[in-house]
Structure 1
Amino acid sequence: MAEQTNAIKGRGAAANPEGRFETIRHHAEDDGWQQAVLDEDAPRPRTEVTEECARSVITHNDSPDIYFSQAMNPYRGCEHGCIYCFARPTHSYLNLSPGLDFETKLRAKSNFAEVLRADLAKPSYVVSPINIGSNTDPYQPIEKRWRLTRAALEVLAECHHPCTIVTKNALVERDLDILAPMARDRLVQVFVSVNSLDNHLAAKLEPRASAPHRRVKTIRTLAEAGVPVGVLVAPIIPALNDRDMEAVIEQAAEAGASCAGYTVLRLPFELKALFREWLTLHAPQRADHVMSLVQQMNKGRDYDSNFATRMRGQGVFAELLRRRFEIACRRYHLGRARELVLDTSRFVPPRKLSPQGELF
């Protein structure tokens, strides 16, 4: 498989390296028998979606630095193509690349709502808020066609089950007819991720996500509809987008956000090389400085997986970010991202679907 050497418009990654579980490496060479295809002449990779039948859709975690214990993701891979996405390495479990494959070869769990209904109907199920979008964005562009997130929300609304949503796509506004009634019953909270106000930078970092100003507008739309909404300034990349932290918090607060959170850049597994390549292509003059600061926050390494520090980093620069964030939140009267308590007392297990229908 040939590796791309130039940036690809509309895509975050420029290469398709093999995942860490692959035993064979592919490398293209021009043997002189035919003219090599130039990168700029190569066709742009198209998005391919494959249906997948899920056996279970609710996952559980006990990580001390994550505020929710249950999560679900309708899709594997994400068309947004955010180069910093910590979920990229999960594509290796599918024998696909964390690079271009992650944003072009997607899996849609076509039976998502049906399996969710069955999971919630189990006698052993214990209700607690479910996060939608912990791994990949539930409102990525293919949701327009597949509508799996909406189908899941319909099930949750039917049985009064609380949930939280994390997204960076304005498509979430489409489901206000479900979210607004759920919000009145304290069953939902939405977090919109905005890590920069620079459209040019966002177009390279998050090529197929909604533009930053559009996400701020989404916060306003949700808040005006009565849906509790917070802003996530995530991830903060030192010497690249950290300068916008206070401005993002100010604009989000003015738009109606009630709380805020942040994380720093995380580079697990293959993501280290992918991000370094992105810096070489898009920010070559500051690449060394960015990585130097990243390493200062990770005990001299590109990434430190310690639960106590992986989300916020450590050291002088990490402490500076923490203080800046806290001061900005106080100034604009924003609470912490996990402060809202959703109502779990209304939950009623869904009825199992029957081919005979319902008599009452």
Structure 2
Amino acid sequence: MSPALAAVLQVAVLALVLALAHRPLGDYMARTFVSTKDLAVERVSYRVVGVDPRSEQPWRTYLRGVLAISLVGIVVVYVLQRTQSVLPYALGMPPVDPDLAFNTAVSFVTNTNWQAYSPDVSLGYVVQMVGLAVQNFISAAVGIAVAVALVRGFARRRSGTLGNVWVDVTRTIVRILLPLSVVAALVMVLGGVIQNFAGFTDVSTVAGGSQSIPGGPVASQEAIKLLGTNGGGIFNANSSHPFENPSSWVSLFQVALFLLIPFSLPRTFGTMVGDTRQGRTILAVMVGIFTVALAAATILEMRGAGTAPSSRAARWRARSSASASRDRRSTPSPPR
């Protein structure tokens, strides 16, 4: 199979998966946010926080809730990094420097997930799982909750409330992100993504040297990283690392996870406002923008534009020039 045909088939499979998930997942998310029933685990969390799940909040109170959740997240992630050396499964890692710890905490809480460090040699497993992975759930849930509050603003033109931020965030985690992440993590483990607490394993290479191979709970963090459109994996290369992305079908599966919720939210919007045609219109605009961007990137790639093709072409020209120079030096001059 030619590379071009393989690329077309991958895009077709991706489009089919998103099309099949659009309606059922979109409707499920809409039912999640309009339901008047609470699950047992949700009721426990409301009692712990002291929240009345039936109370509606005006936009100012909703905003204060979003800011409060974010502030607590920053403090927790920062403290975990600064106390890393005394935590279990620290792997001998020292505490993260204050500036870097603060930068990482803010970036993960704001869903930008900028990593100014190499995670596999900087953070232990407790910081990765309790700090960063948990924050991936919370920051994604806060983003979805804000989107749902915006939808309610369109649907409730004469109402002064937008829902309850604590209920929206809790339901997003418990009913949407957590179940999807469990399934996604299991699929990725079957595809070869690692999930262990092995630490670093020293092995002998074929050339007679030694190499330290990292382990880690990768699949569980990779699942929510993609579903929540987060960044920041356990390895510095993220999804370019073979332990996070070991095969072509796993790579395609990860792209589908990344787009699954965004491409289903237009259906949620249409269902919640009572007009699915509006949701289809938003989806059509999204698909149009995605198609144009994909086509432009493909054309530029085929023409050799971009960093990777340019650097490859530059290396080929350099090797050709060096080979020609050696040939000229090695060719004897004709007798006079």
Pairwise same-fold verdict (TM > 0.5): no
TM-score (norm 1): 0.25
Say which structure is richer in strand.
1
TM-score (norm 2): 0.26
Say which structure is richer in helix.
2
- In our comparison, the structure showing a higher alpha carbon Rg is 2
